[in-house]
Structure 1
């Protein structure tokens, strides 16, 4: 299917400028303020001191890749859509988690100023530029949120290790990041055209996060006496794994490309006609 190259260039150029300028402005205005917030919970200053710059790196790199993809779109290069997909996956990651320690420090979640526009950019790129089906777009989005939430669980576990040294967090912390890497790759693969290994990697990443994330969510919910944000990753992965194993090949139907769908339709017609 032919993509909307002109719109892709405009969207990628706008997203790149938003990401680069936005991260510079927000970081320079809020970084020091966040580390010295009086209402900060234990561990917030650690997260904001070291994790905030690392997350900003992802956002700025995502912005640069957007600019490169914009050049590709305007010059009708085949690699432009792939770069725009990689850029939006990095950009959503770079605009989500750092809001959590800001809110824990009693400060506004300033990075949502970037997250919500990037969420719109995601749907513009997948639906209007890439012309993907709604099912593939939404499964890709769910996989992308698993990538975001697994990073959050890994960082939050690391914070607990530093502040209270709980053995349970020490046991599971790295597993969240392994799952995160898996979902990042799966997200890009779904949007570009999933392969058989996409299912295998996603299923592995999903089960891994469920195994380490569900007990973590239960333990932290009991400690807090309320819903724990540690629950978001395993819930997201439970939904994805359910789609993967649903009878009738639901995963393949929802993530297949239009070309595969058309081929399948032709084969069914041929079988029904006895060809």
Structure 2
């Protein structure tokens, strides 16, 4: 019922446009109060990470509204590419809606962008169903999506840690170098998802690259945090651990055969 349903796709597109506009409003409203809340509790380092990260997410998250407008046009004209670009927009909205909830709750503010995350999830699955994506591909893309979000989060922590580690030259340098490695890894996971959905033969190599980038940046951060800072399991470890599992899975012959069947399917 949902596959190739252009009318439903157009409805989803309107919802996507509204979600993009809603996010624009919410991130503007949340920006300065989140910074002030962390400053008030003496966490200037976290205020710095909010100042930078919210801006980045605000730019790309707001742009999704424009992408959805293009997708709406595509569905109106029954273009085959419409569902894919809707999936791209929804993938960005998932991240843009999820991460701001964390510093908001840390600052005792309402996690108002949760609604964007929920709508993004509905739109993401909706686009994949309209595109006729197979169940096993959806599952792989979903797990890769978790790695995408977690790896992005691992790139946020070094921003605040950099500001408080000037007395430790090694780790101060580590935070500088690993920050963008994590964000590049997150971007690579997103590209892997897009390549997988578009049936590109180079999807698996991109996924391996994404996973290794997440591992390179995430393991040092997580192990150091677990052993020398919090003395428990570090919340920075899920990204590299999940990425490790995904890399192993992508290297399996069965995974290659699965993607080849997906690429060959009509």
Q: Secondary structure at the match of 2:236?
A: helix
Q: CA deviation at 1:258?
A: 4.8
User: Where do residues 57-206 of structure 1 align in structure 2 (5 Å cutoff)?
Assistant: 57-127=59-129, 129-165=130-166, 166-167=171-172, 168-195=174-201, 197-206=202-211
CA-atom RMSD in angstroms: 2.2
Q: CA deviation at 1:256?
A: 4.7
Q: CA deviation at 1:27?
A: 2.5
How far apart, CA to CA, are the structure 1 residues paired with 2:4 and 2:144? Answer: 23
How far apart, CA to CA, are the structure 2 residues paired with 1:202 and 1:157? Answer: 23
* 1:260 aligned to which of 236, 258, 264: 264
* 1:55 aligned to which of 54, 57, 80: 57
* 2:234 aligned to which of 204, 207, 228: 228
How far apart, CA to CA, are the structure 1 residues paired with 2:91 and 2:30? Answer: 24
Residue in structure 1 matched with residue 34 of structure 2 by the alignment: 34
Q: Note closer, same or farther for the CA distance 1:234–1:71 as it changes in structure 2 (3 Å cut).
A: same
How far apart, CA to CA, are the structure 1 residues paired with 2:254 and 2:85? Answer: 29
How far apart, CA to CA, are the structure 1 residues paired with 2:257 and 2:114? Answer: 33
Q: After superposition, what is the alpha-carbon deviation per residue over 1:220-265, rounded to whole angstroms, capped at 9, x for unaligned?
A: 123113332212211221221121123x422441x45656258xxx
Q: CA deviation at 1:64?
A: 1.4
How far apart, CA to CA, are the structure 1 residues paired with 2:48 and 2:83? Answer: 37
Q: Would the aligned equivalents of 2:222 and 2:237 in 1 still touch at CA under 8 Å?
A: yes
Q: CA deviation at 1:2?
A: 6.1
How far apart, CA to CA, are the structure 1 residues paired with 2:113 and 2:261? Answer: 34
User: TM-score scaled by structure 1?
Assistant: 0.84
Q: Point out where structure 1 has 5 or more consecutive residues left out of the alignment.
A: 263-275
Q: Note closer, same or farther for the CA distance 1:214–1:126 as it changes in structure 2 (3 Å cut).
A: same
User: TM-score scaled by structure 2?
Assistant: 0.87
Q: How many residues align?
A: 257
Of structures 1 and 2, the larger Rg is shown by 1
